[in-house]
Amino acid sequence: MKKLIVVLIFIASNSAAGNIDFENIECPELSYDSLIGKWYSEQKNDGDTYQRWLMHRFPNGTYKTTIEYSTLSTSEVTIEKHKGFWAYSKCLYSTQILEFNNEPYSMSTIYLVLDLDGHSFKYQSTATGTKYTITKVDNDFKL
């Protein structure tokens, strides 16, 4: 428990958003296994772009993500692929990107777990405050 408090204090002091209430965090009770599998989300970004992504988390702690960005006015599509590690413990979910579009890469992101309700997983970036909701899909689902 002490390690979790230290990590949360570090995240709170380094949060660019500053809108996460670290004093009153209630950690949902999730099992590691409940996050394994394929997860999908989509959103309209600022301006003229639309984004869809599919993340596949594996039991060994690795993951693959495909992100598709579409420019609505031109129908141009750009695809990103990430590979790396993921982890979950208490209130925190994290990803470590090790490969970006088949090239070596290194970036870590930490999220605050908000909820897992049925097949919907909600989490928030500790760096930006951005909230995400992704939905569990069948293993044969493709973008």
d(CA 55, CA 38): 6
For residue 50, pLDDT beyond 70: yes
Residues forming a β-bridge with 80: 67
pLDDT of residue 19: 64
> Tens digit of pLDDT for each residue in 92-143?
999 999 999 999 999 999 999 999 987 899 999 999 998 999 999 999 999 9
Q: Give the number of other CB atoms < 10 A from CB of residue 89.
A: 13
For residue 1, pLDDT beyond 50: no
For residue 12, pLDDT beyond 80: no
Residues forming a β-bridge with 134: 121
Mean pLDDT of the residues in the chain: 86
Of 3-7, 33-37, 95-99, least confident by mean pLDDT is 3-7
- pTM score > 0.85 for this model? no
d(CA 51, CA 70): 6
Domain-wise residue ranges, the chain: 2-137
DSSP 3-state assignment of 106?
Answer: strand
**Residue bearing the bigger pLDDT, 135 or 10:** 135
DSSP 8-state assignment for residue 123: E
Q: Which CATH architecture has domain 2-137?
A: Beta Barrel (2.40)
| The pair of three-digit structure tokens given for residue 124, joined into one six-digit string | 């928030």
pLDDT of residue 58: 98
Residue 109: Cβ-neighbour burial (10 angstroms; 0-12, 13-18, 19+) = middle
